[in-house]
Amino acid sequence: MESESERVEITISSRFENIELVQVIAEHLCETAGLDDDGSHWIGMAVREGVANAIKHGNKLDVRKKVYAIFDLKGAQLAIVISDEGEGFDPANVSDPLNPQNLMKTSGRGIFYMRTFMDKVDYTFTPAGGTQLVMTKNLTHKSDSVNP
């Protein structure tokens, strides 16, 4: 694992086709830091879910609104911040997809997947509006499969 620090920022408009741009950066950064393919894939997946939520639920597909992603790699510690320009939401209202009542729902698994793939997932809300998602992962934590 390299000990150098790396910071990458990208701003995208709220289009689903831009999700992959951010995902690719995440995976490339992880691979550069020495993480294996599977580990990089799952972090990329968490990023994909975070950006998709920002575009769909945050900015409500308004292409004039932006999604900002910052990747901060310090040693083995990766911090990812994804921000939108929406109106925010109450994380407490997000239902548990493992609850039998929710098992067959067609939505509501994105945050669960992020929490599964990352060490820590937090949301903050600015007074001016917008949601900020902060996810962290220690890249020395090997993940051969989807182990929280």
Partner 1 sequence: MKTSTRTVDGVEIINLQGKITIGSGDSQLRDIIGDCLKDGKTKILLDMKGVTTIDSSGIGELVGSFTTATNRGGKLKLLHLPAKVTDLLQVTQLITVFEVYEDEQEALKSF
We find the least distance from the C-beta atom of residue 142 to partner 1, in angstroms, to be 15
Contact between 78 and 118 (Cβ < 8 Å): no
Query: Quick one: 42 or 71, whose CB is closer to partner 1?
Result: 42
Contact footprint for partner 1 (CB under 8 A): 16-17, 19, 41, 45, 48-49, 52, 56, 97-98, 103-107, 109-110, 112-113, 116, 145-146, 148
Query: Quick one: 33 or 114, whose CB is closer to partner 1?
Result: 114
We find the least distance from the C-beta atom of residue 115 to partner 1, in angstroms, to be 10
We find the least distance from the C-beta atom of residue 5 to partner 1, in angstroms, to be 29
Tokens of 8: 């990458």
Query: Quick one: 49 or 73, whose CB is closer to partner 1?
Result: 49
Query: Quick one: 73 or 143, whose CB is closer to partner 1?
Result: 143
We find the least distance from the C-beta atom of residue 59 to partner 1, in angstroms, to be 14
